[in-house]
Structure 1
Amino acid sequence: MTIRPLSDRVLLKAEEAEETTKSGIVLAAKAVEKPQIASVIAVGPGGEVDGKEVKMYLKEGDRVIAAKYSGTEVKIDGEEYTIVRQSDILAVVE
């Protein structure tokens, strides 16, 4: 199945959360934080959003940092994704 975001939306797949601390302590599942770094899987076309022209500057394959509790989480074919607005992306990780 292919997912194609609309407008200024971006489809993200979160990277795996750290399950151990730097000192080697294994964390319980509830103690593991939701990762903020994600990979861009698909990007919408941009266009006019709320009366303003939006240019998409992200591309597939970029690693980004997204706002912690932003977007809509979806599960498709057993994979978890998050759909966010481009404005919810805080930075590109290089």
Structure 2
Amino acid sequence: MSDVFKALADPTRRAILVLLRERAMTAGEIAEHFNLTRSTLSGHFSTLHAAGLVERDREGTTITYRLRLSVLEEAWLGLASALHLGEETTRWKKNDV
């Protein structure tokens, strides 16, 4: 789960995920939206792929990326569970610490 949150920490990677939410895109199509070098974008793609947030398909020299929402959902549910979100909590009192 920490790989997912590390990947999400970067605004460029979050912007890539927003683009992929609409449809699968080639690396070149994604690159058109950013003023970054191909190697910098490649690093972002690698981080997203390593975290399981995107799938990539290679056809010849073209790589197409697709968003994997299930991984994002699992990370969110894991965080919500770890923080006990949605559960009733009691307030800490000064003497409880």
Task: Establish whether TM, by shorter chain, passes 0.5.
Answer: no
Greater helix proportion? 2
Query: Greater Rg, structure 1 or structure 2?
Result: 2
Q: TM-score, normalised by structure 1?
A: 0.27
